[in-house]
Amino acid sequence: IAGDLVEPRVDPGTGLDEALIGPMALRMGERRHGDSASIDGVTEENVGDMIDTATKAFLGTTVGCARCHDHKLDAVAQADYYALVGVFLSSRWSVRCADTTDPNEAVIADLRRIKEGMRPLLAAHWLAQRDAVAEKAKAAAVDEKATGIPDSLAGWLRLPAERHPPADAFATERRTRIEHNQKHLALVADLTTGDDADAGGWRWEGSGMRHGVARDGEIIVADEGDAAVTHLVPAGRWSHLWSMRLAGALRSPELFARPPRTFSVGVGSGLKASWAPLVDRAFHSERLNTGAYAPGSWLTFTAGNFGRLTGPADTADRRVSFELATKALDNYFPPRTNYGRSEAEVADPRSWIGATKVYEHPAGQAPRDELGRFAPLFTDSAGAWQGDRDALAGRIADLVVAAVVRWRDGACSGDDVLVINEALKEKWLDAAAPAGSPLAALVADSRAAEKRIVPDRVIGSMADWREGADARLAIRGVPDDLGEAVPRGTIRFLRDTIPDSDAFTPPPGASGRLEFARSIVDPHNPLTARVYVNRIWLHLCGEGLVRTPDDFGHLGEPPVHGPLLDHLAARFVEEGWSTKKLVREIVRSATWRQASAARAENVAVDPENRLWHHHPRRRLEAEAIRDSMLAVSGRLDRTLGGPPIDPHRAKEDPAKRLVSGPVDGHGRRSIYIKMTLMEPPRFLAVFNQPLPRVTVGKRDRSTVPEQALALLNDPFVAAMADVWASRTVAAAPASVAAGAASMLTVAFGHEPD
């Protein structure tokens, strides 16, 4: 619930902050394929699933029943539900980097040294191309309809000679644009300084952004092909400054949607990086925008007017934020192949973003290009070129050369970056390093070093930005019919039960998740330890002391051994909430060591074995059935960890990412079989593996014909039988009887009687 808010729990072997992984459990439930900006109720469904999951799992209480009205039987008011809505909606559901150490510092130092060596060589290579630039510029096609003051060098060359603007027209246009920017633009965040204090509350994530503070003119080395560089970047934060395999994200502070506010962000992005407006703490936004932006572009959006906000006029509570992210850190986690991405694109970590400055301004008054890079065309010493395209091409070549000289000398400006990038884009400057040259050798060194980069390890977690806000109670649970705001906090009966419960009131600005989590694990909480002990008893003995493990309320069953449950719960807390010690205490008991044979006189009194007069027989769970077949056949791969394996399917559906895996799942245990909400593994589902959509504390136990048919005809069963038979024959038993005896011993763990 609050792993991101406690001290990092660092795995000494991997260096991962495992505490960040915890909150991901709450976003793994069923999600509607919709955007909270376009479909009312999506956010309410998502947060309702989280509240239902958390309260059932830890408290054995169906708080989700109080979404529309006070709980009819239990001491849970509707206000309690919306107190938790405020808690969960006051946190951001963000993809976070989980690394606590930086494995790339040495590599980045090598890349920095290589880039420093490349600059003078690349500058010399480009400066030798002045005449070639002029000739290529002369060859640019003319657009007979082009007029006005262009905003690109190529645009100037497209102008017919008779429409070349005079100096005074250019000066007037430039002055107008400068005055427009001075009048309308308010600087919100400055990412060019590298100082977070200048970022205006905007935050970055990922090692790409941490190492990505750039001055004007930093080189982006091409990672493949003949080109030495792809482009230069202006001052700012750029996730791909050293490698496109490093993750990066830029996230805005909360922007309330009423009245609408308009912002422009100086950006660059590529390779399936995305930007998205997140409305009402959208957990999965379907509105990812993946267009590429060249460095120096402006991305304009209006908070509160995305063109798809629906619902009644009373939308003042809608909270909006903006996110620009590489593939690894975008809000749709994990990524989907059918959202504009192939399997190869999903597997490829390369993606990049960057940002320079953020301005707020009136709608329709976005930043305007001040045309400063074209001013040298109109200096007194430039010579006349109006009406002469060849002369203009020569002046543009001189402008490119001057920009390269300043870049070489470390005096590069943002305008120089735009000039050089356009010259590269138009192929006036040759980006390829001459074969066998020192520059080509450095490019090769850079690519070799870049391959040593270790991509960020990310996890879908949460983050608190001190943006806590109370949720308004929805009358009868209708999202559009809102009542008064309910102070966020924990459930009332916990506040009434636990001494000093004022400590569970969140401080101003806090979400309240940490306080809610502390109320759950408070030693005076009457439920958490009992619920957990009951779940352990259920897993060990087949039935819980309370037979409704997700409901300890009036609709659930009372404990059959209340004092025993109280005793074990108290011991559990005293022993530091240690599951291992709890299991040891149970399995060493006389109750656990009982035989499974029941005496007739006991059955007559207690046919359901509620008094535990014998050890109950337990059915193998679906995963144990499958894993046992792998084990006896000899195909079981006992390796720990690793990626999930797609289950075997009769028919694939790539559009839904329903891909078929090997029949035996490469021998991996069932815990490593990939789960999908649309189509879980069918063999496991037949044997009552629950659907991974809602909290299930106790599995169903059905006996249906499909189970017998699966054990006779399922491709997995047939394949394991073939493997086992081949293995037995290969062992060359002395006789058929000996072979059969060997198989019985392997299957049942003892020699046949």
Structure tokens at 612: 């535990």
Cα distance between residue 727 and residue 164, in whole Å: 85
E-assigned strand segments in 271-383: 274-279, 293-303, 319-325, 352-361
Q: Is the pLDDT of residue 19 over 90?
A: yes
The mean pLDDT value for 315-330 works out to 78
Closest CA to 657 of 304, 225, 335: 335
Point out which residues pair with 204 in neighbouring strands: 250
Q: Is the pLDDT of residue 426 over 80?
A: yes
The mean pLDDT value for 256-278 works out to 83
The mean pLDDT value for 609-613 works out to 90
In this structure, the strands spanning 249-251 and 293-303 are unpaired
What CA dihedral angle connects 537, 543, 548 and 552, to 10 degrees? -30
The mean pLDDT value for 243-254 works out to 93
Would you place residue 310 in the very low, low, confident or very high pLDDT band (cuts 50, 70, 90)?
A: very low
Cα distance between residue 217 and residue 415, in whole Å: 10
pLDDT digits 0-9 by tens, 374-417: 998 887 665 677 888 888 899 999 999 999 999 999 999 999 99
| Residue 338, pLDDT score | 45
| Sequence-ordered alpha helix ranges (H) in 60-166 | 78-89, 105-127, 130-138, 153-158
Cα distance between residue 507 and residue 492, in whole Å: 17
Cα distance between residue 416 and residue 410, in whole Å: 11
Q: Is the pLDDT of residue 111 over 90?
A: yes
Q: Is the pLDDT of residue 29 over 80?
A: no
- CA distances 487 to 79, 93, 189, 422, 500, Å, are 9, 21, 32, 55, 18
Closest CA to 230 of 455, 454, 409, 447: 447
Structure tokens at 638: 């006992």
**Structural domain boundaries of the chain?**
1-99+460-522, 527-618, 622-748
| Residue 28, pLDDT score | 75
Q: Is the pLDDT of residue 364 over 50?
A: yes
Structure tokens at 377: 């065309």
Closest CA to 302 of 347, 361, 346, 253: 361
pLDDT digits 0-9 by tens, 555-570: 889 998 999 999 999 9
The mean pLDDT value for 584-594 works out to 93
The mean pLDDT value for 193-201 works out to 92
| Residue 343, pLDDT score | 66
Backbone angles phi, psi at 328, to 5 degrees: -65, -25
Backbone angles phi, psi at 474, to 5 degrees: -85, 115
8 A C-beta contact, residue 358 and residue 264 = yes
Closest CA to 300 of 278, 322, 283, 282: 322
How long is the chain? 753
8 A C-beta contact, residue 216 and residue 416 = yes
8 A C-beta contact, residue 326 and residue 270 = no
pTM for this model (two decimals): 0.85
8 A C-beta contact, residue 309 and residue 42 = no
Of 474-478, 579-583, 730-734, highest mean pLDDT: 579-583
Would you place residue 191 in the very low, low, confident or very high pLDDT band (cuts 50, 70, 90)?
A: very high
The mean pLDDT value for 329-336 works out to 68
Sign of CA dihedral 350, 285, 357, 191: negative
Closest CA to 223 of 448, 433, 431: 448
| Residue 309, pLDDT score | 45
Structure tokens at 523: 């030693």
Q: What is the mean pLDDT of the chain?
A: 88
